[in-house]
Amino acid sequence: DSAASKIADLVREATQEKSQTERFITPFSRWYTQSVVILAALLAALPPLFGAGDFGIWLKRALIFLVASCPCALVISIPLTFYSVIGSASKKGALIKGSRHVETLAKIRNVVFDKTGTLTTGNLSVQEVRSLSALPEEEILRLAAVCENASAHPIAKAVTAKFGNPPSPDSSEEISGKGVRAIIRGKTYLCGSARLLKEEGISLDGAPESGLYLADETALLGYIQVGDTVKPEAKEALQELKALGVARTIMLTGDRAQAAETVRTQLGVDEARSNLLPQDKVTALRTVRETGLTAFVGDGINDGPVLAAADIGIAMGMGSDLATQTADIVLPGNRLTSIPAAIRACRKGMRIASQNITFILIIKAAVLILGALGYAPMWAAVFADVGTALLAVLNAMRVTRTD
């Protein structure tokens, strides 16, 4: 169950999944080989039967034809190109589960991201402290930290961490799902959600729609905005995706609209869709897929259905087993910059595979025709076989070079 064992399993899967190009080359080579053997036999036998020359001359031409037609260059270089892409991408932090995903990733048009744990760290932190009374902002933070000192809520922990080791209140009462009522130096304070303050008859005039509010028994004193922290490399990764020609970047989240918009603005995501349940994310992804090949990047168990529904599913890290097993690509290092690096490697690999196929077929066609007509010597046939194979292999190895 270790991370190393999981990576080993993914590597085994990667070597078994073939791309469309590889799946085409294998049956093509089988058909092609049978055809050229028959053509070579006909080339050696038919012309002498019709008095077009000596059998020895046509046998030599047939042998040249047979040597030049060998499909080894195609059979060796194309799989090697895809294996090189997988190796290059893995060095850059993206483990691709098979050659068939290389072709899809190279053509990707849209990239959809989960928010929490993917674009953000998942760790809450204080974003803003604002006073709506005569108290300074430092005092608002101190009072809120003292109130929240005994609470285990993630927002409470973010506030106390921002202040740093606050003292305990004289007494406190945690109101489930709403906040805390605490007594500090004989005075009662309320710290929590808008719902808590409204139930106590305290007006929220001048405050935003959401946040952690601090009030005494009569009026609102101030508020604190707590939000998720974006990953340091997230903005760079999104900029690289845009530079690669990705048409749209979209963020899906179950969080409220304001939190989603804050992250969208910070990172420059094209579009953010909020307040989504897991099934809503699948529906949203399907609408995006209508505009082109779409990759989804997620990390949690809730992202499993969306990863499966995407053209390419990308799982962050080695956390959730469901996400890792469902995804087509895994990022063991948990770095978003591995995604544009993998796209570059895939596009480079597809260019090289196309170059190799074109080069091999042109050389072979030229030597086959010239050999059948008697203008190509045996060394040309050897070059069309072994020479093109070596050149194609060397060209395929260029994928592993870091751009």
Q: Among this protein's residues, is 170 annotated catalytic?
A: no
- Which of 152, 111, 120 has the alpha carbon at shortest distance from 271? 111
Q: Which of 54, 114, 280, 328 is catalytic?
A: 114
CA distance 244 to 252: 22
Q: What six digits make up the tokens of 188?
A: 């009662």
Antiparallel, parallel or unpaired: β 110-114 and 120-131: unpaired
Provide φ and ψ at 290, rounded to 5°.
-65, -20
State the number of CA atoms in the 13 A half-sphere of 7 facing the CB: 12
Please give the positions annotated as active site. 114
